[in-house]
Amino acid sequence: MQTRRRKTAAVPERSTPKHPAIRIPVERILAERRWIAARVASGGVPRRDREDVVQAVIVAAWMAVEADRYRPDPSIAPRRALLGWLFGIVWRKVGHHVNRAWVRREIPMADPWSARPS
């Protein structure tokens, strides 16, 4: 039995980005730390993990800027464009953190050896 061959490429070519990459200083990301912390808290991250998630967001944002993945629309106000972009990063990091199995099942205790299985 003979099989058919595709006549088109399996993976379409990537389109060119609409806007040029912009390199912003890390201070602009750090200036929004309180805003990031508020979004992390509203995402349901436990208090004990919030600083770690905020730090992960800042590092991920800076790495994206370094990799030329920050491409804001020039017609949008610079701070609004930055906050919209940061919101996407916060949303992903919070979602990944909250949905981890160890976060969903962890019960912090002062003396873990005193716990008895139920």
Considering the domain boundaries, does residue 98 fall inside one? yes
List, for residues 6-49, the tens digit of each pLDDT value: 666 666 676 777 899 999 999 999 999 999 999 999 999 989 89
Domain of 97 in residue numbering reads as: 26-105
**pTM of the predicted model as reported, rounded to 2 decimal places:** 0.74
In a domain, 10, yes or no: no
Phi then psi dihedrals of residue 88, to 5 deg: -60, -40
Please tell me the predicted confidence (pLDDT) of residue 58: 97
CATH number, position 80: 1.10.1740
Instruction: Identify the CA nearest to 22 among candidates 85, 64, 72, 61.
Output: 72
Terminal CA-CA length for the chain: 60
How many domains does one find in the chain?
A: 1
* pLDDT digits 0-9 by tens, 54-101: 999 999 999 999 999 999 999 999 999 999 999 999 999 999 998 887
* 46 is a domain residue: yes
